């Protein structure tokens, strides 16, 4: 019997379309590419970062953009001692709700720290930018403690 | 949407049958259809029905992300024997919302009876990571923030605010495990003291592993009908007195995560406060969330909370919410309780909540 010829073809499962992120999410992501962080002012005046397209309470369309700081304060956090394969950091790290200077609503991102004992609610953190920014939430590689030399 | 409360002049709805499978850590090679079929057979037998042709409407709840294929839920219909054609619908949600759709169908006069089922085989995937894909697609899903981590941050907000202690959380788990000893379908049961639980190492700090519901495979099913139809069938039934659901923002940080305003609003619309509550079954996938829900529902000393053990003892994704209603139904029909509240949740940190009031006929 002759050896069987196995037919094969590369296959990539993917979505073959692109989608516009629009004037609010798109503006935020473009800002990240330029290493700026912008939020939006809600109907009640609070600054929400990342910006939302519509106000949760009034449903008003939001377009009053405000640049906020690249440092902030931890509002809540948890310690991931065993990172999952999908997680952005593969060393033990924290997820945190971080209220950036000039913002009224926290944002969720990861915090790189050497150990759980370095972290606390109220701790100051600062952005660590990715080496290459491309207009994506992961342009913020992570946050790190602002007042600890690692 | 206004609450479907006490529309007694129109069409009172009776819960007539319910059954749930065991919560298994892994169903092995058993597929979803094979998980559903015994549950459907069980509720059919409780009423004395032959097959899906004997009810006017069928509605299911499941999540294609758990099977990892678009329209995977359609295969579940194989469990029904849908020939000749039946009237059938599906929600990409917990089957508690399939119950809600069925209630609407009956209230509108488009059906007199309905079969509802929910199912999931969560074990093949990494459930907390799969569920991260229900989050904001630009800001959160690309980070793969898992559901356990989100709940852990919620727990810390409560701990920091002095609204709970770690001992309060352990007490919820201790009671769940003990109650589950009387639940043959439970996955985790045992007599564990608060002190022993607090000795355990952190998992995703401040949560310990026992603060999180386990990953479970299984299904549950229910039959509801108009009271007239239930009387005609001649089986014991309970009345679904009210049902309502409310949702909060997808932006977790704009919410007060130490409270559940959507649960409170759903409870008001469903008429929870209209009478004493003997029993409550709450869909709290994390220990601290049971405390948030009990407070939002205004439950007091006179209410037995999660006598089944709740979902900390076994969590059938897409079926656990329906099962909460079923557990209350069973306790009412058995005479253990006169009036009860069932709750279902969906989304991260109790984002979306459904509340149902079930009463003795």
- Read off the pLDDT of residues B108-123 as tens digits, 9 standing for 90 and up: 999 999 999 999 999 9
Residue B150 and residue B247 in one domain: yes
Residue B17: domain span: 4-126+215-238
Residue B294 and residue B247 in one domain: yes
From B43-52, B67-76, B222-231, B237-246, the region with the lowest mean pLDDT: B67-76
Pairwise CB contact (< 8 Å): B253 & A106: yes
Residue B290 and residue B320 in one domain: yes
B47: domain CATH number is: 3.40.47.10
Is residue B80 in a domain? Answer: yes
- A55: CB partners within 8 A, 6+ apart: A42, A43, A62
Residue B245 and residue B113 in one domain: no
Can you tell me whether residue B95 is helix, strand or coil? helix
Nearest to B23 by CA among B223, B177, B184, B190: B184
* Average pLDDT of the residues in B310-318: 98
d(CA B15, CA B13): 7
What is the per-residue pLDDT for A1? 56
Residue B356 and residue B262 in one domain: yes
What is the per-residue pLDDT for B286? 98
Residue B168 and residue B38 in one domain: no
Residue B297 and residue B178 in one domain: yes
Residue B118 and residue B56 in one domain: yes
Q: Is the pLDDT of residue B1 over 50?
A: no
Which residues in chain A (5-64) have CB-CB distances under 8 A to chain B? Answer: 21, 25, 29, 48, 50, 52, 56
List, for residues B7-57, the tens digit of each pLDDT value: 444 689 999 999 999 999 999 999 999 999 999 999 999 999 999 999 999
What is the per-residue pLDDT for B82? 77
B160 contacts in chain A (CB < 8 Å): 76, 121
Is residue B107 in a domain? Answer: yes
pLDDT level of residue B76 (50, 70, 90 thresholds): confident
Residue B14 and residue B119 in one domain: yes
Pairwise CB contact (< 8 Å): B251 & A52: yes
Provide the b/e sequence for B238-248 (b: ≥16 CB within 10 Å): bbbbbbbbbeb
What is the per-residue pLDDT for A2? 67
pLDDT above 90 as % of chain B: 92
What is the per-residue pLDDT for B2? 43
Residue B117 and residue B96 in one domain: yes
Which of B128, B205, B253 lies nearest to residue A78, judging by beta carbons? B205
Min Cα–Cα distance to chain A from B169, Å: 16
Pairwise CB contact (< 8 Å): B251 & A106: no
Can you tell me whether residue B67 is helix, strand or coil? helix
Pairwise CB contact (< 8 Å): A76 & B160: yes
Is residue B210 in a domain? Answer: no
Is residue B115 in a domain? Answer: yes
Q: Which two tokens stand for residue A89?
A: 């950091």
Q: How far is CA B293 from CA B86, B281, B325, in A?
A: 38, 10, 16
Is residue B342 in a domain? Answer: yes
* Average pLDDT of the residues in B115-144: 96
Q: Is the pLDDT of residue A149 over 90?
A: no
* Average pLDDT of the residues in B86-97: 96
d(CA A101, CA A121): 15
d(CA B257, CA B11): 37
Residue B73 and residue B136 in one domain: no
A30 contacts in chain B (CB < 8 Å): none
Q: Is the pLDDT of residue B166 over 80?
A: yes
Residue B220 and residue B356 in one domain: no
Nearest to A147 by CA among A127, A122, A129, A125: A125
Is residue B209 in a domain? Answer: no
The residue in chain B having the minimum alpha-carbon distance to the alpha carbon of residue A96 is: B153
Interface predicted TM-score (ipTM): 0.93
What is the per-residue pLDDT for A148? 56
What is the per-residue pLDDT for A150? 45
Is residue B245 in a domain? Answer: yes
Q: How many domains does chain B have?
A: 2
HSE-CB at A143 with a 13 A cutoff on CA atoms is 27
Nearest to A43 by CA among A26, A61, A25: A61
Q: How far is CA A8 from CA A1, A3, A4, A14, B35, in A?
A: 21, 15, 12, 19, 35
HSE-CB at A31 with a 13 A cutoff on CA atoms is 20
């Amino acid at each position: 019997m002759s050896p069987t010829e196995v037919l094969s073809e590369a296959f990539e499962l993917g979505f073959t379309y692109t989608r516009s992120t629009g004037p609010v999410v798109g503006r935020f992501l473009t800002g990240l590419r330029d290493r700026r962080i912008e939020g939006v002012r809600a109907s009640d005046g609070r600054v929400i970062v990342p910006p939302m397209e519509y106000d949760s309470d009034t449903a008003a369309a939001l377009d009053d953009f405000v640049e906020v700081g690249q440092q902030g304060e931890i509002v809540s956090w948890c310690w991931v001692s065993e990172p999952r394969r999908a997680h952005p950091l593969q060393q033990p790290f924290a997820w945190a709700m971080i209220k950036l200077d000039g913002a009224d609503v926290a944002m969720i991102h990861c915090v790189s720290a050497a150990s759980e004992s370095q972290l606390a609610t109220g701790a100051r953190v600062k952005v660590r930018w990715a080496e290459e920014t491309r207009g994506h939430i992961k342009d913020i590689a992570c946050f790190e403690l602002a007042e600890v030399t690692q | 949407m206004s609450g479907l409360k006490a529309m007694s002049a129109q069409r009172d709805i009776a819960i007539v049958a319910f059954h749930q499978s065991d919560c298994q850590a892994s169903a092995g090679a058993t597929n979803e259809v094979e998980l559903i079929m015994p549950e459907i057979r069980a509720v059919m037998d409780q009423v004395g029905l032959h097959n899906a042709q004997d009810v006017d409407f069928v509605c299911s709840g499941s999540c294609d992300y758990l099977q990892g294929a678009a329209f995977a839920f359609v295969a579940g219909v194989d469990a029904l024997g849908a020939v000749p054609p039946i009237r059938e619908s599906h929600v990409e949600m917990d089957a508690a919302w399939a119950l809600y759709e069925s209630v609407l169908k009956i209230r509108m006069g488009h059906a007199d009876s309905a079969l509802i089922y929910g199912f999931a085989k969560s074990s093949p995937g990494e459930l907390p990571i799969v569920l991260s894909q229900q989050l904001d697609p630009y800001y959160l899903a690309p980070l793969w923030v898992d559901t356990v981590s989100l709940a852990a941050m919620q727990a810390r907000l409560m701990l920091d605010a002095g609204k709970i202690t770690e001992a309060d959380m352990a007490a919820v788990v201790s009671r769940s495990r003990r109650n589950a000893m009387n639940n043959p379908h439970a996955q985790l049961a045992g007599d564990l003291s608060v002190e022993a639980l607090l000795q355990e190492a952190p998992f995703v700090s401040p949560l310990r592993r026992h603060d999180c519901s386990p990953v479970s495979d299984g299904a549950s099913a229910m039959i509801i009908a108009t009271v007239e139809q239930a009387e005609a069938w001649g089986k014991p039934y309970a009345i679904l007195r009210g049902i309502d659901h409310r949702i909060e923002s997808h932006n977790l940080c704009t919410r007060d995560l130490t409270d559940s305003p959507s649960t409170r609003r759903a409870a008001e619309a469903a008429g929870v406060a209209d009478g004493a509550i003997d029993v409550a079954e709450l869909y709290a996938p994390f220990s601290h969330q049971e405390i948030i829900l009990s407070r939002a529902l205004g439950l007091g000393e006179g209410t037995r909370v999660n006598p089944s053990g709740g979902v900390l003892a076994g969590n059938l994704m897409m079926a656990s919410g329906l099962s909460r209603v079923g557990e209350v139904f069973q306790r009412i029909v058995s005479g253990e309780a006169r009036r009860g509240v069932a709750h279902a949740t969906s989304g991260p940190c109790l984002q979306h909540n459904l509340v149902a009031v079930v009463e003795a006929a």
